Chains A and B, each alone.
Chain A
Amino acid sequence: MLPEALTHTWPWYIAGPLIGLFVPLLQLVGDKQLGISGNLRHLCSALLPRRNDFLRYDWRGAGAWNLLFALGTLAGGWIGVSLLGTREIAISPETQAALRGLGLQDLSGLAPREVISWSGLLSLRGFVSVVVGGFLVGFGTAYAGGCTSGHAINGLSGFQVRSLWAVLGFFAGGLLATHLLLPLLY
């Protein structure tokens, strides 16, 4: 049997510092910068027509380590869910009420099945959430030159002003979508 501590939700004060340690760790082992969204660029460069300078570079040399890191996260997701067991995610009662107010019935799992699922794709809200949302993630991170890991954790810990602007943007966009778009869409 696995110890309770492993199967339960890891508290922020364990998970946060562990995540933060990846910045010095990657620097130490290979002088690498934590950042996941670069992989979208590497994958584009590797798989799609390289019509412009943005995608014309040595993606193997620049990104092999990071693509492997991303591949590892897939395995990590599988281990986290299958071997270490996911519990019911206990979000705050206020948020549960807000989400039920949007019309969601099923608040279990890692994402709402009514929206973020293959059958959900056929609905407007599902399509916008997955297809349009995914597009915005890819476009926005490429435009901003980083995501939550690259700008928020790596950039802010290095006192980068540009990362602060990016992170303020992340939250501006997130708040806009949460409080204006979702109520219209759901």
Chain B
Amino acid sequence: MTNRFPLWGYLLLGTLFGIILTKAEVVSWFRIQEMFHFQAFHMFGIIGSAIAVAAVTRRLLKGPPAPTLCGEPAPLADEETGRGYRFWIGGTIFGLGWALTGACPGPLFILLGGGVSVMIVAVLSALAGTWTYGYLRSRLPH
């Protein structure tokens, strides 16, 4: 059944994902601020329970235990692990942007759909950022 799932099915799954993140207010700049101020449980509850449910169901499925890096084409993932610097350095850089825009990549797209049209600028900036990383990659510590 793995190869039978049609591509448009992902469109549908993405739509559900977008609805959930919108209705749970994960896409809200204000919720992200609240999280980084540790002033409500909401966001921590969402991320925590999402991880817990994913961990348990993934065990039940007994799928391949080690996922590749986020969204990266599988063949590239392992050779790019390096010494691990990339995870905390890159993570910190993303974190700065997360708090400034109030959106991680998912909400960036979702907000655009939800009518915060200025987010097209943030998406284009993010593309510039990703492109710049590719350009500088050989000179950055990994």
Chain A residues near B (Cβ < 8 Å): 6, 9-33, 35-44, 47-48, 51-52, 54-55, 57-58, 62-66, 68-82, 84, 86, 89, 91-92, 94-95, 98-99, 107, 109-112, 116-118, 120-121, 128-160, 162-163, 165-179, 181-182
Contacts and interface: CB of A to CB of B under 8 A. Distances in A.
Interface residues of B, number: 124
Contact of A147 (B35, B47, B106, B113): B106
Contact of A76 (B21, B40, B121): B21
- Most chain A CB within 10 A, of B16, B31, B100, B122, is at B100
Contact of B39 (A48, A55, A68, A92): A92
Q: What DSSP secondary structure best describes chain A's contact surface? A: helix
A42 B43 CA distance: 28
A110 B10 contact: no
* B40, B88, B124, most chain A CB atoms within 10 A: B88
Given A19-B21, A70-B14, A29 B9 contact: yes
B21 A134 contact: no
A157 B98 CA distance: 21
